[in-house]
Chains A and B, each alone.
Chain A
Amino acid sequence: MIRADIIGGLLMAAGFSAVLWEASSFQYGTEFAPGPGFAPVWYSVIGIALSLLIAGNALRTARSRAHRAEDDSMALDRGGLFRVGATLFGLAVMLSIVLALGLVPALFVFLLFLTLGVQRLPLPLGVGASVGTVVFVYLVFVYFLGVPIPRGPLGI
C-alpha cells in the first residue's frame, strides 16, 4: 500500500499538473467576477498539493518503518487482475460494436463472454444468466418503457 501511495500520489500530481497547464490557458477573470479559468486553476493547485502530501506521507512512513518488506505483502493478485482486465476489454469491444450490432445483441455477446470466458460459470448457468438478463432488459426498457435503443440488422 505504501509504494502504491507514493506512485499514485506522484501520478495524480502529474495529472493535475497537466490539468493546470491546460487551465492556465483559460481566461482567469472578467471585469468583476472570476472567469472560466479561476476554478480549474485553483482546483488543480490544491490537487497537486494533496497528491504530493499523500506521496510524501507514504514516503515518510516507509522510511520510519523498520520492516520494509512487509509492505509488499499487498502485491496484486494476478488472476484477479486478469479477470478485471478481460471484463474491461469485453466492455470496450461491446461499446465499439453497439451501433453496428444493436445494443441488445452486443450486450448478449458481452454477457456470454463475461459468464463463460471470464467467470467460467458452467455452460447452462452462463447462457441462462445471459439470456435472462437480455430478455429482462428488452422487456422492461424496450417493450415496456419504449426506450429508443440502437437496433442492429436483426431488428432488435
Chain B
Amino acid sequence: MEFNDLILGFSIALTPSNLLFALLGVFLGTVIGALPGIGPSAGIAVLLPVTFGMPPVTAMIMLAGIYYGSMYGGTITSVLINTPGESASVMTTLDGYQMALKGRAGAALGMAAIGSFIAGTASVVLLMVAAPPLADLAVTFGPPEYFALMVLGLTTLASLTSGSMIKGLLMAVVGLMFGTVGIDLMLGAPRFVFDNVNLMDGIDFLPVAVGLFAIGELLFNLYQPVRTEPIKAKLSGLLPTRQDWRDSYGGVARGTAIGFFVGILPGAGATIASFLAYATEKRVSKRPEKFGTGVIEGVAAPESANNAASTGALIPLMALGIPGSGTTAVMLGALTLYGMQPGPLLMSTHPDVFWGLVASMYIGNVMLLVLNLPLAPVFASILRIPYEILIPVIIGIALVGVYSVENSVFNVGVTVVFGAIGFVMRVYGYPAAPLVLALVLGPMLERALRQSLQMSLGSPEIFVTRPVSAVILAVALLAMLFPLIAWFRSRRAGLAVAGDC
C-alpha cells in the first residue's frame, strides 16, 4: 500500500456525488437490513438497476454501502421485535430482544452501532493494508479445514441453550436433519424432496429463522400476552451506559477478530461469524448463565462480528475475484456489468475503484454511526406502540419480506409452518437457536466431510495431517469436553440433592 493510493481514494470518495451515494447506500442498507426477510443480497440485486449509468466507482461505493449498512440495520428488528432483519442478525435476537423487553432497547441498539462502527473500521484497515496476503491465506482453507471449523461450531451449539441441554441438542439434530433436505450436491440424489421443485435446493435458512423467531413469538403473544404494557422509558435514558461499555468492549474486540477471519473465508459468511462470536463470548464470560436473558455483550459481540465479516468478505472478491457469499456474488456481477473484470489485477488496473471504495467505507461507517446512535432511541420508541397493534404490522411485513428474497410464495409457507413449530417449541421449552444454526452449519459440515474423504480417497488422516485442521479440531475437542465435565458434575450434584429429599 502506498500512502498516495489512500489520498487518491479519499480524493475520489470525497467528491460530492460519491459522498451522496455513500450516504444513500448506507441509508438504504439500514432500511433493507431492518426489513425482515429481505437482506443484503436480494437488496443489492433489486437496487442494481438504479446504479446503471453511474461511474463504476460510485456504483461500488453505493452497493458496498448497502452491504455493510444492512449489517447495522439488521440489528434493529432483531432487538425490537425478535425478527432477524437478515440472517447474520439471528444471534442478536437472543439477548437483544430480552434487553428490549427490559426497556433497554436503546442501549442494545446504541452498543450494536458502536460495536459495528469499531469492527467495520478495523476491518477496512485490514482490507486496506493486507488484502492480497489475506486472500491467499483464505484460499488455503480447504475442505478439511472447513470440516474442522464446522465441528467447532457444532460443539458450541449446546452452550447456546438456556434450560435443558438435551432439548437443545435435540433441536440441533432437528436442524441438521432439515439441512439434508434437497438434491444431494455430490451425487444428485433427491433427499426428502417428495417431488416438490421448491424443496430441491433445500430449505432456506431465512424463512425458517423468521418463522421460528418472529412468527413463533407473535403466536405465543396471541396465546398468552407477554408484554401487556408498552414500554415507558424516557428517550434520553436509552443510550448505553459506562457499565455497558465496560461489559462490551472485550466482546467487540473478539467479535471483530472472529468476524473478520471467518468473513474472508469463501463460503463461511457473516451468519457463522456472528454465531461463533456469540458462542465464544459466552464461553469466556464471567457470567455465562446470564446469556439469553439480555446481557449487552451478547449483542455487541455478534453485531461486531457480522460487520467485520461483511468487510472481510470483500477481500477474496477484490483480491482474487472470488465471491465468497451470495452478496459478494451479486457485487461481482455488478462489477462485470460495469465492464470491470474482478481479479488480482483490479487493484492495479482500477486503483480508483479499489481505493475509492476503501476510503468511502471509512466515511460510510462514520455516517452509519452518526445515523444510528441518535436514531437508536427513536427506533426504540416503536416499543411504545401497544403490542397488539404491532402484531399485525410485524406479521404483514415479515411475510412480504420473506417473499421478496426469492419471489417465492413457497417460502412464505415455510415461514408459516415454522411459525407454528416455533410456537409449540416455545410452549414446551425447546430452544430455537440451535435449530436454525444447525440448519446453516449442517450442509457445510456434511459437504466438507465428504469432500475431504473424497480428496484423501477415504483416509481420515487428512483431518490431522493438515496442521490448521488438526489445531481447530483439537480446540473443538477441548470445547466439547469442558461443558460435558461440568454437566456431569452438576448432574451428580443435582441427583445427590434429589436423593436427599
Q: Do chains A and B touch in the complex (CB under 8 A)?
A: yes
B191 within 8 A of A: yes
By the criterion CB–CB under 8 Å, are B189 and A8 in contact? Answer: no
> Can you list 26 A-B pairs, Cβ within 8 angstroms, ordered by A?
A1-B429, A4-B428, A19-B177, A26-B191, A30-B454, A38-B446, A38-B450, A39-B180, A40-B177, A46-B173, A54-B167, A81-B223, A84-B223, A87-B222, A95-B413, A111-B392, A114-B391, A114-B395, A125-B389, A129-B392, A133-B393, A136-B397, A141-B38, A145-B46, A145-B404, A150-B409
How many angstroms from the CA of A121 to the CA of B392 in the assembled complex? 11
A79 CB to closest chain B CB (Å) equals 9
How many angstroms from the CA of A2 to the CA of B407 in the assembled complex? 42
Known: A32-B456, A107-B400, A133-B392. 19 other contacts (CB 8 A): A19-B177, A44-B177, A54-B164, A54-B166, A54-B170, A88-B419, A88-B420, A91-B419, A107-B396, A111-B396, A121-B388, A133-B396, A136-B393, A140-B35, A145-B43, A147-B46, A147-B403, A148-B407, A149-B403
By the criterion CB–CB under 8 Å, are A88 and B219 in contact? Answer: yes
By the criterion CB–CB under 8 Å, are B409 and A98 in contact? Answer: yes
For B396, what are the chain A residues with a Cβ–Cβ distance below 8 Å? 107, 111, 133-134, 136-137
For A22, what are the chain B residues with a Cβ–Cβ distance below 8 Å? 192
B449 within 8 A of A: yes
- Of listed B46, B450, B453, residue having the most chain A CB within 10 A: B450
By the criterion CB–CB under 8 Å, are A33 and B223 in contact? Answer: no
- Contact A80 B224, CB 8 Å, known A36-B184, A40-B191: yes
B300 within 8 A of A: no
For B423, what are the chain A residues with a Cβ–Cβ distance below 8 Å? 84
8 Å CB contact of A39 from B170, B397, B420, B446? B446
A83 within 8 A of B: yes
How many angstroms from the CA of A58 to the CA of B416 in the assembled complex? 30
Residue of A nearest to B186 (CB): A36
Residue of A nearest to B410 (CB): A95
How many angstroms from the CA of A148 to the CA of B199 in the assembled complex? 21
For B187, what are the chain A residues with a Cβ–Cβ distance below 8 Å? 27, 30, 35-36
A40 CB to closest chain B CB (Å) equals 5
- Contact A107 B399, CB 8 Å, known A32-B453, A33-B453, A43-B180: yes
- B contact residues, range: 35 or more
8 Å CB contact of A103 from B173, B174, B219, B403? B403
How many angstroms from the CA of A107 to the CA of B456 in the assembled complex? 53
8 Å CB contact of B454 from A32, A83, A133, A150? A32
How many angstroms from the CA of A141 to the CA of B173 in the assembled complex? 35
B169 within 8 A of A: yes
For A125, what are the chain B residues with a Cβ–Cβ distance below 8 Å? 389
B52 CB to closest chain A CB (Å) equals 13
B458 within 8 A of A: yes
For B449, what are the chain A residues with a Cβ–Cβ distance below 8 Å? 33-34, 39
By the criterion CB–CB under 8 Å, are B219 and A84 in contact? Answer: yes
B160 within 8 A of A: no
Determine the main DSSP class of B at the interface with A.
helix
Interface string of A11-40 (1 = CB under 8 A from B): 010001001001100110011111110111
Residue of A nearest to B46 (CB): A145
Which residues B378-429 have CB closer than 8 A to chain A?
388-389, 391-393, 395-397, 399-401, 403-404, 407, 409, 412-413, 416, 419-420, 423, 427-429
Which residues B311-356 have CB closer than 8 A to chain A?
none
For B186, what are the chain A residues with a Cβ–Cβ distance below 8 Å? 30, 33, 35-36
For A87, what are the chain B residues with a Cβ–Cβ distance below 8 Å? 219, 222
For B176, what are the chain A residues with a Cβ–Cβ distance below 8 Å? 39, 43
Interface string of B433-465 (1 = CB under 8 A from A): 000000000100010011101101110000000
A115 CB to closest chain B CB (Å) equals 5
By the criterion CB–CB under 8 Å, are A137 and B397 in contact? Answer: yes
- Contact A47 B174, CB 8 Å, known A88-B416, A140-B35: yes
For A53, what are the chain B residues with a Cβ–Cβ distance below 8 Å? 166
- Contact A83 B397, CB 8 Å, known A12-B170, A64-B498, A103-B403: no
B291 CB to closest chain A CB (Å) equals 22
For A32, what are the chain B residues with a Cβ–Cβ distance below 8 Å? 453-454, 456-458
For B32, what are the chain A residues with a Cβ–Cβ distance below 8 Å? 145
Residue of B nearest to A149 (CB): B403
- Of listed B31, B167, B457, residue having the most chain A CB within 10 A: B167
B47 within 8 A of A: yes
For A83, what are the chain B residues with a Cβ–Cβ distance below 8 Å? 222-223
Which residues A83-100 have CB closer than 8 A to chain B?
83-84, 87-88, 91-92, 95, 98-99
How many angstroms from the CA of A137 to the CA of B35 in the assembled complex? 10
For A91, what are the chain B residues with a Cβ–Cβ distance below 8 Å? 416, 419
8 Å CB contact of A146 from B46, B177, B403? B46
For B224, what are the chain A residues with a Cβ–Cβ distance below 8 Å? 77, 80
A38 CB to closest chain B CB (Å) equals 8
How many angstroms from the CA of A22 to the CA of B169 in the assembled complex? 22
By the criterion CB–CB under 8 Å, are B191 and A50 in contact? Answer: no
By the criterion CB–CB under 8 Å, are A50 and B400 in contact? Answer: no
- Contact A141 B169, CB 8 Å, known A64-B498, A81-B223, A98-B409: no
